[in-house]
Amino acid sequence: MAFKKYFATKDNTITNAFESSLSTRATGSNMGQADSLEIFKIYGQATTSSSELSRAIIQFDTTEISSSRDAGMLPASGSVNFYLNMFNAKTPFTVPNDFTLLIQPVSRSWTEGRGLDMETYKDYGVSNWVSSTDVAAWTEEGGDYISGSGYNKTATFISGIEDLSVDVTNIVEDWISGSLNNFGFGVRLSGSAETNTTTYYTKKFFARSSEFFFQRPTIEARWDSSIKDQRADFYASSSLLSTDNLQEIHLYNSFRGSLQNIPTVGTGAIYVQLFDSASGGNNLSAGVGVSYPITGGFVDTGIYSASFDLDTTLSTVYDRWFDSTLTTCFFTGTLNIKSNTAQSNTKKEPLVLTVANLEDQYSRAETSTRVRLFTRKRNWSPTIYTVANSTIENYFVDNMYYKVKRLIDQKDIVQYGTGSVQYTLLSYDDQGSYFDFDFSSLEAGYAYEFKFIIKEGTNYSEYPQGFRFRVED
């Protein structure tokens, strides 16, 4: 899997807004159990120069994130991005537009509280505008926040009804390492917006107590976990190509279903030599366009890769994997070599996709389930050999992404990760395309579907059919 969500453990709205009398400020009010978070600025309501502010504070359990990393469910620091996601809540009030929110780490422990009243501010308690807990006040009213050192994050809103998604990787990593105490985030209008003479009333986000599962605030970890193992789709070097001549193959060291590192290699270098025979034969070093023996490397636990281009007319080549002494062979694989040729036209043949192991129903307890696709060209024409063996040739797609849609309202629960972090990019090996999915990220009791999009050059085309399933506890 290449994303994982962590839900907020506490949140609150704190305000110095006037109560309905417009004479007393509600600085002691608490809204810790309300189902939304509110951020606003009201100018000139009580007097011609009065200003009223509301801010949101929100916290997540980084112990849970650390446990995920220790269990191998998250990549190491530097290989994963963390995003703070908050979702717009509809409001009958005027929604401000063209404004910026400031997101910063909170620097003091605070209590969530049990207040609900976001209208008349009659629920008093902590935390609030003045106090962080029942025994401590904020150093500055309105909350204590850390600025500088890359801790100032911003989100710009044009229409005002957008969701918030901000990269907070450095903050979360500092929380995990312990170099920064985790007291959560403060979310407020930017400094100039809080001090100018403009009213921004009111921006609302769903809180962690919202009845809407997918609208609750999250920290979402995203990373590119895709593996492109071209063993079953290996092309000989061609003068028609440039960078695409470089091919990549993998070795998987698995015992009783569990991947584990090769003891003498660990996370270091591994070496590959190519031969014309499985038992050795002639060494093909002359046709390899990289330093030989080929130096491979560690990918993930028990997975190693090697990249090279090969100029050969052979139809079959054997890859043998060694330690640094080149005497202990760990694995001998087979490469059936394909050749690239120019075409007389640019017609693209449509594809047929099938989720080969799709289940009708999944459990939220399935946190890393491998979903496999079978892909073929629609106008596939079998050879005599494939007919005799009842085997359809798998077509390998280099850049395919998935998303998850909820059927009842057609809401995109997981969007295509085609941006800077390609977190829904599919992997492939000699059996075809696949991805690992965490079904605990979906709400039970609903039907969903996987959808797929293919990137060719700079163009994307979505496969029309969805593949449906249901999730239960």
**What tokens were used for 308?**
């090279």
User: Does residue 175 form part of some domain?
Assistant: yes
Q: Domain boundary residue among 222, 245, 272?
A: 222
**CA quadruple 27, 29, 30, 34: dihedral sign:** negative
Residue with tokens 């002494």: 325
Among 269, 301, 336, the domain boundary falls at 336
Q: Kindly state whether residue 101 falls inside one of the protein's structural domains.
A: yes
Q: Are residues 444 and 424 in the same domain?
A: yes
Decide if 355 contacts 373 (C-beta within 8 A). yes
Residues 218 and 238 in one domain: no
Query: How many structural domains comprise the chain?
Result: 3
Q: Is residue 254 part of a domain?
A: yes
What is the chain's pLDDT, residue by residue, as a tens digit (473 residues)? 699 999 999 999 999 999 988 999 999 999 999 999 999 999 999 999 999 999 999 999 999 999 999 998 999 999 999 999 999 999 998 999 999 999 999 999 999 999 999 999 999 999 999 999 999 999 999 999 999 879 999 999 999 999 999 999 999 999 999 999 999 999 999 989 999 999 999 999 999 999 999 999 999 999 999 999 999 999 999 988 877 899 999 999 999 989 999 999 999 999 999 999 998 899 999 999 899 999 999 999 999 999 999 999 999 999 999 999 999 999 999 999 999 888 877 777 789 999 999 999 999 999 999 999 999 887 655 554 444 455 567 889 999 999 999 999 999 999 999 999 999 999 999 999 999 999 999 999 999 999 999 998 899 999 999 999 999 99
Tell me, yes or no, whether 151 lies in a domain. yes
Q: Helices in 220-354 by DSSP H: which ranges? A: none
pLDDT of residue 393: 73
Output phi, psi for 294, to 5 deg. Answer: -70, 130
Range of the domain at 148: 3-222
What are phi and psi for residue 69, nearest 5 degrees? -70, -45
Q: Are residues 329 and 394 in the same domain?
A: no
Q: Which of 264, 238, 243 is nearest to 253 (CA)?
A: 264
Same-domain status, 60 and 28: yes
pTM as predicted: 0.92
Pair (237, 368) in one structural domain: no
CA atoms within 13 A on the CB side of 305: 16
Indicate if 261 and 356 belong to the same structural domain: no
Does 388 map to a domain? yes
Residue ending a domain, choose from 222, 252, 274: 222
pLDDT of residue 381: 54
Helix residue ranges, H only, 131-290: 169-177, 191-195
